[in-house]
């Protein structure tokens, strides 16, 4: 299935009944309502935290600052059952968020504007270590073409931004993909299949050390989302 894509002044969506081989695209003009997005985010905040920083143990991802198209795409995949996530499934349904695509647009637009964790959980090997350098080489050869040389991802293509994500969460997700419990595109599945476990740990370690632009970060660890005070 192709990713859901934001277009200028419009949202292009792939209906759940369309086939992956011959998808149908519907264009809807949807301007985000950030006030409603804030209201809806209260549903998410108990797990992802009001700041959207998730948990450094990897139980919950950092979603603050993530591309809104990536967030929209994943919520739609969970809603449809394509991505198996029983914990989130009830919270992304229309009976919880509201009918249609507008509530999802409002929600992901709010989340994407949250400043990111200024000190997310990183891997064990820093840049002076051989493991870090090997991870860099493997990442640039296998992952950078899609996720970007700096792990910046791509909003229009719904490719996740990897920089700033907690190392344990990335380790867990790669494990789920390799075991077949999480479905992703065939290219990524093939790449993860040709790297062994130690190589993947080194790649993820390298990703975890990629710098996040300062304008995307919260000013300090003490920063709190005052929308929920």
- The per-residue pLDDT for range 131-158, each reduced to its tens digit, is 999 999 999 999 999 999 999 999 999 9
**Is the model's pLDDT at 27 over the cut of 90?**
no
pLDDT interval class at 102 (50, 70, 90): very high
The model's pTM is 0.88
CA distance 61 to 52: 8
Residues 88-100 have pLDDT tens digits of 999 999 999 999 9
**Which long-range contacts (C-beta less than 8 Å, at least 24 apart) are formed by 128-135?**
131/202, 131/205, 132/202, 132/205, 132/206, 132/209, 134/199, 134/202, 135/201, 135/202, 135/203, 135/204, 135/205, 135/206, 135/207
- Backbone dihedral region of 8: left (phi > 0), alpha (psi from -120 to 50 degrees) or beta? beta
**Is the model's pLDDT at 9 over the cut of 60?**
no
Residues of the chain above pLDDT 90, percent? 86
Domains and CATH numbers, the chain: 5-112 (1.10.760.10), 130-211 (1.10.760.10)
pLDDT value at residue 3: 43
* Higher pLDDT, residue 13 or 183: 183
* Higher pLDDT, residue 133 or 27: 133
Q: What is the mean pLDDT of residues 51-56?
A: 98
CB 216 within 8 Å of CB 65: yes
pLDDT value at residue 29: 63
Residues 116-134 have pLDDT tens digits of 999 999 999 999 999 999 9
CB atoms within 10 A of CB 99: 8
**Is the model's pLDDT at 2 over the cut of 70?**
no
Average predicted confidence (pLDDT) for the chain: 90
Residues of the chain above pLDDT 70, percent? 87
pLDDT interval class at 30 (50, 70, 90): confident
């Amino acid at each position: 299935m192709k990713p859901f894509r934001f277009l200028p002044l419009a949202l292009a969506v792939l209906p759940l009944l369309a086939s992956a081989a011959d998808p149908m695209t519907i264009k809807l003009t949807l301007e985000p309502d950030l006030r409603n997005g804030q209201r809806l985010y209260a549903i998410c905040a108990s797990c992802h935290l009001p700041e959207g920083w998730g948990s450094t143990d990897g139980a919950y991802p950092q979603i603050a600052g993530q591309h809104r198209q990536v967030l929209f795409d994943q919520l739609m995949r969970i809603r449809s059952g394509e991505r198996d996530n029983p914990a989130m499934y009830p919270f992304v349904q229309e009976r919880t968020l509201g009918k249609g695509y507008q509530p999802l647009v409002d929600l992901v637009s709010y989340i994407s504007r949250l400043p990111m964790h200024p000190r997310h959980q990183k891997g064990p090997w820093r840049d002076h270590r051989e493991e870090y350098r090997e991870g860099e080489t493997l990442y640039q050869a296998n992952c950078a073409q899609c996720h970007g040389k700096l792990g910046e991802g791509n909003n229009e293509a719904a490719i996740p931004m990897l920089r700033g994500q907690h190392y344990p969460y990335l380790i867990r997700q790669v494990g789920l993909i390799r075991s077949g419990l999480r479905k992703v595109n065939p290219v990524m599945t093939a790449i993860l299949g040709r790297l062994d476990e130690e190589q993947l740990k080194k790649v993820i370690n390298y990703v975890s050390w990629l710098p996040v632009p300062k304008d995307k970060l919260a000013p300090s660890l003490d920063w709190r989302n005052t929308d929920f005070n």
